[in-house]
Copies of this chain bind each other. A is one copy, B any other.
């Protein structure tokens, strides 16, 4: 292993979650599909916010949540993302740094404000996310400094960042730097709606050999391969990437690598409070396992344990001592 400053560097949206409990009737009235994530503009965000109940603000952002998990597991992390120079930006910056994650992208002085995600949590814990990206969509290409990227063993990319043009350039620059330095590149597909728009782009990234580890869930796998037969879709997707990790919600998760399939059941949870961050924390546990040089099976277990912790409370970042939890359950 070469000498590196960081174990995992992530490029992702810098977002503060505004979490409110809602009943199923509210979601139905608003026409939301439970479990979905959608992008909304600032006006729509204001309108929805005015109808939502009281919130609690907790730092979020998909890849940033993953880093929170990797850092909680004792590994050295850095984050690239964009906040605005405002109070919620200061909250995001404080929270990620307080986890020991290096985060040095300067806040952006102009409008729009720091990104927010209005998270509506139903009584069964299922969340519906409404994201107003704000400053996050203006992450400049220059933020993906090749020296910084080369200083981390793993580069982890949030698929959401592929949508806005400037962050996409940052991703491509980051991947280039990671490849040149011989680093491992992991990509999360993030959301089905991205497959509808960018399926070909993502397939090209895979076919060009730019991605080493691909994280997705069942729906994204099916959408990516345009095949509703999940087994067939998984096999087809696995043929295009060295290591594929597919989460299956309460049914657990699988990984496919070198023609072999590995699987892990979901970890038991007393009460599902808020499913936000389940996928992010699964990726965190898995990545931490890889950083530690563990096998795929153990890495899957770590993912399942981290995901179970985060859905047992509000907020998409770990609350309990993840390291102790994994030591207790896995050793």
- A 39-50 to B, binary, CB cutoff 8 A, 1 in contact else 0: 000000000011
Q: Is B95 a contact of A317 with CB atoms below 8 Å?
A: no
* Chain B residue nearest to A116 in the complex (CB): B87
Q: Is A330 an interface residue (CB 8 A)?
A: no
* Chain B residue nearest to A21 in the complex (CB): B319
Q: Is A57 an interface residue (CB 8 A)?
A: yes
Q: Is A94 a contact of B55 with CB atoms below 8 Å?
A: yes
In the complex, which residues 37-66 of chain A have their Cβ closer than 8 Å to any Cβ of chain B? 49-50, 52-59
Q: Which of B55, B86, B314 contacts A95 (CB 8 A)?
A: B55
Q: Is A91 a contact of B55 with CB atoms below 8 Å?
A: yes
Q: Is A172 an interface residue (CB 8 A)?
A: no
Q: Is A167 an interface residue (CB 8 A)?
A: no
Q: Is B58 a contact of A98 with CB atoms below 8 Å?
A: no
Contact A99 to B315, CB < 8 A, known contacts A86-B87, A87-B87, A94-B49: no
Q: Which of B52, B56, B68, B86 contacts A58 (CB 8 A)?
A: B56
Q: Is B56 a contact of A57 with CB atoms below 8 Å?
A: yes
A124 to chain B, nearest CB (A): 16
Can you pick out 27 interface pairs between chain A and chain B where the beta carbons lie within 8 Å of each other? Answer: A18-B91, A20-B98, A49-B94, A50-B94, A52-B98, A53-B98, A53-B99, A54-B68, A54-B94, A54-B96, A54-B98, A54-B99, A54-B317, A55-B91, A55-B94, A55-B95, A55-B98, A56-B56, A56-B57, A56-B315, A57-B57, A57-B58, A57-B91, A86-B87, A87-B87, A87-B88, A87-B113
* Chain B residue nearest to A313 in the complex (CB): B314
- A 94-117 to B, binary, CB cutoff 8 A, 1 in contact else 0: 111011000000000000010000
Collect the chain B residues with CB atoms within 8 Å of residue A91's CB: 18, 55, 57
Q: In the complex, given contacts A52-B94, A54-B99, A57-B91, what are 13 additional A-B residue pairs having Cβ atoms less than 8 angstroms apart?
A: A18-B91, A20-B98, A50-B94, A53-B99, A54-B59, A55-B94, A56-B56, A56-B57, A56-B58, A56-B315, A57-B57, A87-B88, A87-B113
A56 to B18, CA, bound (A): 10
In the complex, which residues 270-315 of chain A have their Cβ closer than 8 Å to any Cβ of chain B? 314-315
